[in-house]
Structure 1
């Protein structure tokens, strides 16, 4: 922990997993210190960082005397330890709670891991896939996932992913939309996702968490 006892979030400005946690921290009104980890310089593989996260992945959150990893369990921890602070990342209704977790995992398990940085590096190293090929790969898997999510949202969405209350599902969806735009996904094909993106963009937690607002952005 830091000298002033603020939580420390180890993050990279453009990576979607720490982006999720930045949003969640904002929604829970938790101040924190930002500790940049440059993935392009392989800083996540440094001895110092691996002491905190042996998996060499982001994010890592130091909070409450603990060192937490993996974005979804981190967000659940924040909700479970601070249920009356900020907004509820998970609804109390068990059916809605399942739906939030369903959409969360559709992003965190089905889309993001297939097009993250280390996989794209492997495509280049082992199969000589060029930048255009890597972009096409990423776009394909994002669109496949968004096709499914859009169908789910037809039944679940209000202002946000699940009704009119922002949740952990929105914390996961919005960073993936940012990635989708990077890879040229036509968001006009996903009107509900695009509408939720606009609603989230009005909230301060999402504004502050945006990659363009981070100190290590270049």
Structure 2
């Protein structure tokens, strides 16, 4: 398998974690998101992924896009170790936690959104950081409450085995630190993150450990 990735992309970070948890080997094809206006906008990459986003996973003849769809593919193709629990209700809970990050927080703070704020509204770096932190706080606060209140929360977001929700949480907290968000109000999230970062799959997926990291 070949993963088209950018070292600091949180979406690619999720997929790297999932591949590591599954114990699946893969090659990394770096796609620099800012160099020369962004390699993702080049004709060759656009032919591979018309959305011009990372990650893209090439698995045999299949070309897969969107991080959560890729992780679901990995789960269905390589079911052990499982990233989703068995019961339909529990699976829905884990997916909801993952989507709370991937759909409610991440899109508002995506690179192209931050670039648009600067290009179209004249937002400087300080204003972009304020925007970023606002949407992080808006999304992380209810996630903290939800996880702290649930008996289904264990060492990880769901029980005592890392799964889909954890692959989303750790990259989001990594980005929160980049933008100097105070994480003290989120002790449950920090506890889960610390447990995740004891595992080789999460450590190997860290941005600074990627071949294209500066």
- Asked whether the two chains share a fold, i.e. TM above 0.5, the reply is yes
Partner of 2:77: 81
Give yes or no for the alignment of 1:199 onto 2:187.
Answer: no
Partner of 1:36: 30
Residue aligned with 1:107, SS = helix
- Of 77, 91, 114, 2:108 maps to 114
Q: 5+ residue gaps in structure 2?
A: none
Distance 1:164 1:83 in 2: 17
Distance 1:165 1:102 in 2: 17
Q: CA deviation at 1:64?
A: 3.1
Size of the aligned set, in residue pairs, is 210
Give yes or no for the alignment of 1:104 onto 2:93.
Answer: no
Partner of 1:4: none
1:104-159 per-position Cα deviation (integer Å, ceiling 9, x unaligned): 00000000000010000000000000000001100110111000100110113210
1:32-73 per-position Cα deviation (integer Å, ceiling 9, x unaligned): 000000001210001110111000001000013200000001
- Of 9, 25, 28, 1:15 maps to 9
Superposition RMSD on alpha carbons, in Å? 0.7
- TM-score normalised to structure 1 length: 0.95
Partner of 1:165: 161
Give yes or no for the alignment of 1:51 onto 2:32.
Answer: no
Partner of 1:139: 133
The farther-off stretch of 31-40 and 89-98 is 89-98
Distance 1:96 1:203 in 2: 23
Distance 1:38 1:190 in 2: 32
- TM-score normalised to structure 2 length: 0.97
Q: 5+ residue gaps in structure 1?
A: 1-6
Distance 1:173 1:122 in 2: 25
Q: CA deviation at 1:95?
A: 1.5
